[in-house]
Amino acid sequence: MSAYARPALVRQHGDTDPPGLLAEWARARGIPLEISRSDLDGEMPELDGRPFVASLGSARSANESDVPAVRAELELLEQALRRGVPVLGLCFGGQVLAKLLGGEVERAPEPELGWYRVATEDPELIGEGPWLQWHYERFTLPPGARALARTSLALQAFAVGPHLAVQFHPEATPDTVRGWARKDRPRLEALGIADGEERVERGRGHAAAARQAALKLFDGFWRRAQEHDERSRC
């Protein structure tokens, strides 16, 4: 990491959306992280010298550009794309990335809440899961991007250059997502969904395997980021 002037930047968008397994992975790999809050920090973080930027999940929609925190994330990731800083987008972060690359963010035909397996085109990077999901919207494939995984309801992952977006939550633990279910109870009730927390709890036995799959995914993204950095230095 001595080649980089600054730590990798992690963008957190609320109190209940921590980096979780991403932070655990970074510690194990000796990769320094700086956590920046889109909902709290007033100044735009500096991007020069960053090995990558990771944008986490959010209760907001990537379409809510009138919301200051969302507008700030759109602006930051747009700068990262322009400067060639690799971006890892996780759920909301992936939706922001898709939108900036020319895709769309739209209401999903039904929310994906709980544990889901994916049909993967690149099992070495993205395992079939099951992965934890918690989203009401979905992204479409941006022009020039490569689709990596899908469910019957949504595109689940794509890559373009050094950038990777996923619709699921590799960083999240069951306890984190159960907290989202508890927080979303009024919204779930309005949708006629009464088992939000139970959906997470029913798959808790998958947590150990999901953790290993997440670490593998982060390793794959990191390799892509380093390869991009090496090419840009040539």
Q: How far apart are CA 24 and CA 41, in angstroms?
A: 23
Candidates 149, 132, 140, 137; CA nearest to 108 is 137
Triad 43, 225, 64: Cα angle to 5°: 40
Does 169 qualify as catalytic in the annotation? Answer: yes
**Catalytic annotation present for 91:** yes
Residue 219, amino acid: D
Residue 146 per-residue DSSP state: E
Annotated catalytic residue: which of 137, 171, 197, 228? 171
Q: What is the DSSP letter of 45?
A: P
> Which residues have a Cβ under 8 Å from the Cβ of 111 and sit 6 or more positions away?
135, 136, 191, 193
| Burial bucket for residue 162 (CB in 10 Å: 0-12, 13-18, 19+) | buried
Percent of the chain as helix, strand, coil, to the nearest 5 = 35, 25, 40
Residue of 91, 163, 197, 228 marked active site: 91
Query: Is residue 67 exposed (0-12), middle (13-18) or buried (19+ Cβ within 10 Å)?
Result: middle
Determine contact, residues 216/127, Cβ cutoff 8 Å. Answer: yes
For the annotated catalytic residues, the residue numbers are 91, 169, 171
